[in-house]
């Protein structure tokens, strides 16, 4: 068989589920695109976003968080399958368009059916009355009522109706969300569901009854042979939550009612496990596979799918070959690189752009409704990317700066057919992020920089290292276009002693941990300073963080901060909030509290991460060359990798228009 001749025969072995053939074992896990109108129709690039994953070779693509009921919605801007626009009569409805777009690439389009239960309607003002397994007070001040049996049966019918709508709109599978803290998870949980009737209590059969009835009703509605997947949390993975034993019991009750039991972990309402459900860079690859592997031992009729930081074909092949799971599900990995399956299948696995697990995508979708990605600037702009092919006129482009933004600009320009020259003042490509290359939890950032540098070279870009991009160089090279990605420099705090020999910028301190001594105080509460503090703590240093604000600065990536706080608790000795640095001496940092009390913090070294100064002067000297000019990234204001790559991608696609 053809697939047995590949390096990853189990990954690319087709599988028939019901009457549907899935072309490989890489399934696109649900990602909740919430750029919708109040009627529940997708807006913007949603069709192209999901279509792009299908184009890249995934066997299935699942639309996330499709609410079966308006009163069960977890937020105000989401697809609602009970409105008048969802039915078969509206052939132009957005979900029908998505199903068609996904299916034409041979992928199966699926939709995740959701009811928020206890957490429904809290976004409304005032919040609607929510119902859960039992009457309880939520931590946010809302009072939840016990769901009566009549309502349970109504919701069972709502799930079945939602599945019917999706099938009528061309979907080839449905996924029932019974994990992560939503309604069906609440009923499955022995910690939450203490009912005394047939819908709960100590009996696993009773707690699973709601989900079983949902699956039975969906099967009756969609008919035999139509694939049904159910997602559960194999463990809530926190002290006080249920463990793998309860996950196994739940799976045993659901066995055979769903074609696939999709095993995840965690509960979204428990902040410390948010980054177990959604692993970040501190987690190991495949960190949640263990839950699926245990459940697989006890499931006889249903297939088992696994998810969680599965980031290499070798890991996928091992999971499948060893029988830990039958299917691997990828979410953010297909945002970072929708072409992952196709690249692996064609022997180009080294070209796969790996997710850095920075959660910029997740934070952005919550804030804006659509995804963005730090390493893939096409995401969120998939529709326009269809038209960004070769440039009409081939130009000579000088890219000034070889950091994240500069490399992305060079890559995009080269792919569009321009002659590209990349000038970098240092001896390596990578920019300021190179300072973190020895940090264990930044290994994915290191790989990304190395991969980008290799791509720049493969595309035939002329690389000029140890070369500062000046107006004179631009004129000498005869550049038609200049893209300036010169970055920013660390801003030294303006306090007495900041120029002492025991004071370092974070980017310099990363390179000399042995010279910093045992006691370190970090000035600044942004991600740069906090990650540095965690790294020093991992090395066994005594670290104190000092900052003026009353809260930590997540830089807009509030989801990542949830996981970073867990690491701060483990590795940082103390965080001094609302504390103003006043001076530095040979023994440490002198500060003043918000009450005006003086404080001295002993330290061998003081490290500052108190902002960056854009290299504006050098940038706009290049603008004076009188050619087509685009400044990108930190040289206009220091932000993050996502901002740098996004601006660079846009500038490169615009280059050559004049």
Ranges of CATH 3.50.50.60 domains, the chain: 492-610
User: Residue 607 has which token pair?
Assistant: 């490290």
Over its C-alpha atoms, the chain yields an Rg (Å, rounded) of 26
pTM of the model: 0.90
User: Residue 467 has which token pair?
Assistant: 């070369």
Q: Which residue ranges in the chain fall short of pLDDT 70? A: 1-5, 83-92
Domain 390-489+613-654: which CATH class? Answer: alpha beta
SS3 call for 635: helix
Confirm if 45 and 92 have CB atoms less than 8 A apart.
Answer: no
| The listed CATH number (3.50.50.60, 3.40.50.300, 3.30.465.10, 3.20.20.140) that belongs to domain 492-610 | 3.50.50.60
Confirm if 467 and 423 have CB atoms less than 8 A apart.
Answer: yes
Residue 307 backbone dihedrals phi, psi, to 5 degrees: -155, 155
Closest CA to 404 of 379, 433, 373: 433
Name the pairing type of β-strands 612-614 and 628-631. unpaired
Model pLDDT for residues 577-618, shown as the tens digit of each residue: 999 999 999 999 999 999 999 999 999 999 999 999 999 999
DSSP codes joined into one string, 312-334: -HHHHHHHHHTTS-SEEEESTHH
Distance CA 483, CA 419 (A): 13
Write down the CATH superfamily of domain 2-383. Answer: Aldolase class I (3.20.20.70)
Element holding 589 (H helix, E strand): strand 588-593
Distance CA 423, CA 406 (A): 9
* Whole-number pLDDT of residue 84: 54
Distance CA 192, CA 186 (A): 6
Q: Peptide bond before 160: cis, by omega within 30 degrees of 0?
A: no
* Whole-number pLDDT of residue 246: 95
For 247, residues 6+ apart whose C-beta sits below 8 A from its C-beta are 232, 233, 234, 235, 263, 291, 294, 295
Ranges of CATH 3.20.20.70 domains, the chain: 2-383
Task: Give the dihedral sign, CA 309/312/318/321.
Answer: positive
Closest CA to 541 of 495, 585, 572, 580: 572
Residue 434 backbone dihedrals phi, psi, to 5 degrees: -60, -25
Model pLDDT for residues 427-457, shown as the tens digit of each residue: 999 999 999 999 999 999 999 999 999 999 9
Residue 606 backbone dihedrals phi, psi, to 5 degrees: -115, 125
Q: Rounded to a whole number, what is the distance in angstroms from the first to the last CA of the chain?
A: 53
Name the pairing type of β-strands 481-484 and 628-631. parallel
* Whole-number pLDDT of residue 85: 52
User: Residue 22 has which token pair?
Assistant: 């899935």
- The CB density around residue 224, as the number of other CB atoms within 10 Å, is 8
- The CB density around residue 288, as the number of other CB atoms within 10 Å, is 24
Distance CA 224, CA 439 (A): 52
**Helix, strand, coil % in the chain, rounded to nearest 5:** 35, 20, 45
Distance CA 551, CA 402 (A): 34
C-alpha to C-alpha distances, 432 to 70, 243, 267, 398, 579, nearest whole angstrom: 47, 42, 36, 20, 28
For 31, residues 6+ apart whose C-beta sits below 8 A from its C-beta are 62, 64, 331, 332, 335, 365, 371
Burial class (CB in 10 A: 0-12, 13-18, 19+), 272: middle
């Amino acid at each position: 068989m053809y697939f047995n001749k590949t390096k990853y025969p189990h990954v690319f072995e087709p599988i028939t589920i019901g009457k549907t053939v899935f072309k490989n074992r890489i399934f696109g896990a649900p990602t909740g695109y919430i750029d919708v109108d109040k009627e529940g129709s997708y807006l913007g690039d949603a069709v192209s976003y999901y279509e792009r994953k299908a184009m890249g070779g995934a066997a299935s693509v699942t639309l996330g968080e499709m609410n079966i009921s308006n009163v069960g919605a977890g937020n105000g801007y989401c697809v609602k399958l009970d409105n008048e626009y969802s039915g078969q009569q509206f052939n132009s409805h957005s979900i029908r368009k998505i199903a068609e777009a996904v299916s034409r690439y041979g992928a199966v389009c699926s939709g995740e059916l959701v009811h928020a239960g206890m957490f429904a309607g809290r976004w409304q003002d005032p919040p609607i009355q929510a119902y859960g397994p039992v009457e309880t007070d939520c931590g946010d001040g809302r009072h939840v009522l016990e769901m009566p049996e009549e309502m349970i049966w109504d919701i069972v019918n709502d799930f079945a109706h939602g599945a019917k709508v999706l099938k009528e709109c061309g979907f080839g599978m449905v996924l029932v969300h019974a994990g992560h803290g939503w309604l069906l998870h609440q009923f499955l949980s022995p910690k939450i569901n203490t009912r005394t009737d047939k819908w709960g209590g100590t009996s696993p059969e009773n707690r699973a009854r709601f989900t079983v009835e949902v699956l039975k009703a969906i099967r009756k509605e969609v008919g035999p042979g139509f694939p049904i997947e159910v997602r559960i949390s194999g463990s809530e993975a926190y002290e006080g939550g249920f463990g793998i034993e309860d996950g196994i019991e739940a799976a045993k009750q659901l066995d055979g009612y769903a074609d696939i039991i999709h095993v995840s972990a965690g509960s979204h309402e428990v902040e410390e496990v948010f980054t177990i459900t959604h692993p970040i860079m501190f987690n190991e690859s495949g960190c949640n596979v263990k839950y699926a592997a245990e459940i697989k031992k006890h499931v006889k009729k249903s297939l088992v799918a696994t998810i969680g930081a599965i980031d290499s074909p070798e890991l996928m092949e091992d999971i499948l070959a060893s029988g830990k799971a039958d299917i691997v599900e990828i979410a953010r990995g297909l945002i970072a690189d929708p072409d992952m399956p196709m690249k692996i299948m064609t022997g180009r696995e080294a070209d796969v752009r790996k997710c850095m697990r920075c959660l910029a995508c997740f934070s952005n979708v919550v804030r804006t409704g659509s995804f963005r990605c730090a390493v893939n600037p096409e995401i969120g702009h998939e529709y326009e990317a269809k038209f960004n092919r070769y440039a009409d006129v081939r130009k000579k482009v000088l890219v000034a700066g070889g950091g994240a933004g500069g490399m992305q600009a060079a890559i995009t320009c080269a792919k569009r057919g321009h002659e590209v020259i990349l000038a970098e003042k240092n001896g390596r490509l990578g920019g300021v992020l190179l300072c973190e290359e020895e940090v264990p939890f930044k290994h994915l950032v290191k790989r990304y920089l190395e991969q980008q540098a290799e791509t720049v070279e493969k595309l035939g870009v002329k690389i000029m290292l140890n070369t500062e991009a000046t107006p004179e160089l631009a004129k000498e090279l005869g550049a038609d276009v200049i893209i300036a990605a010169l970055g920013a420099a660390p801003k030294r705090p303006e306090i007495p002693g900041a120029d002492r020999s025991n004071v370092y910028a974070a980017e310099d301190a990363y390179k000399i941990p042995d010279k910093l001594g045992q006691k370190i105080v970090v000035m600044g509460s942004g991600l740069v300073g906090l990650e540095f503090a965690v790294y020093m703590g991992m090395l066994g240093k005594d670290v104190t963080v000092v900052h003026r604000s009353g809260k930590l600065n997540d830089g807009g990536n509030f989801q990542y901060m949830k996981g970073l706080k867990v690491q701060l608790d483990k590795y940082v000795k103390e965080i001094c909030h609302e504390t103003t640095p006043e001076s530095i001496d040979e023994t440490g940092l002198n500060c003043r509290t918000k009450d005006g009390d003086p404080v001295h913090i002993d330290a061998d070294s003081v490290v500052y991460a108190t902002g960056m100064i854009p290299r504006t002067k050098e940038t706009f000297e290049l603008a004076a060359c009188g050619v087509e000019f685009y400044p990108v990234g930190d040289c206009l204001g220091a932000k993050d990798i996502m901002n740098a790559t996004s601006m660079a991608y846009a500038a490169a696609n615009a280059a050559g228009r004049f």
